[in-house]
Amino acid sequence: MQPNVADLEEFYRNPLGRAVRAMIMRRLSALWPDLAGLDVLGLGYGIPYFNQADLPRRLALAMPARQGVEQWPASGGVKSLLVDDETLPFAEASFDRVLIIHGLEESRAPAQLLLDVHRILSPQGKVVIVVPNRTGLWAHHDASPFGHGRAFSRGQMRRLMRECGLQTSAWAKALYAPPTRLVASLPAMRAWEQAGEWLWPAFGGVIMVEASKQVLIRPPSVRPMLIPALGTIKP
């Protein structure tokens, strides 16, 4: 059963959710250190991953209709909206960056979703997708949002991205700690992350992949050249 927006908001409000956010943001900030001057889309439930005090030029937080939408921010111009995740209501090449979190694993048509993301990415745009890792503990623990929907392996993600015209440029894993409140403090989570990266790198709770838009360039059509037949040469 897909978590609704109230479940997601509650998870990220508690200590375990705040620690999860910090560990994912650690990776995301390394990939995208500065969003100033960019047009950015958060797809799924991206509210915890954007700071109202340091926003990009334009930000839209699109939430699937089956999940529900949370108004954000609470005051001022609203940046969150409800969408059909199979037909995104944005023009072609609208965004420089797209973050998908709590989105792809719950989609009824993940390939269609990524094809639509390909359409709305600018030619130099990048997407980061966060999905539950099949071999990690978090995909098997339904007390967190990562325990719902389908989980992916790296190979499955690579094939899916290739099919949708997205060229992978970076891979990472996060959430090596077990999904329990006993390790919900930031120091404990950081210690698990450092140990997991060295000792059991395949077992991170989530896979993070960055990809760019592949633009297929068709060769210009060549018009056939008509050569008149040679006449008979008389001696």
Residue 171's domain comprises: 5-213
Q: What is the mean pLDDT of the chain?
A: 90
Predicted TM-score of the model (pTM): 0.89
Reported as a pLDDT band with limits 50, 70 and 90, residue 1 is low
Token output for 88: 């995104």
Output the pLDDT for position 184: 82
How many of the other CB atoms lie within 10 Å of CB of 178? 13
Overall domain count for the chain: 1
Residue 117 domain-assigned (yes or no): yes
Round to whole Å and give the CA distance between 234 and 152: 77
Residue 184 domain-assigned (yes or no): yes
**Domain CATH code at residue 12:** 3.40.50.150
Per the model's pLDDT, the better-predicted residue between 217 and 82 turns out to be: 82
Residue 147 domain-assigned (yes or no): yes
Per the model's pLDDT, the better-predicted residue between 52 and 8 turns out to be: 8
Reported as a pLDDT band with limits 50, 70 and 90, residue 185 is confident
Output the pLDDT for position 143: 83
Round to whole Å and give the CA distance between 53 and 41: 17
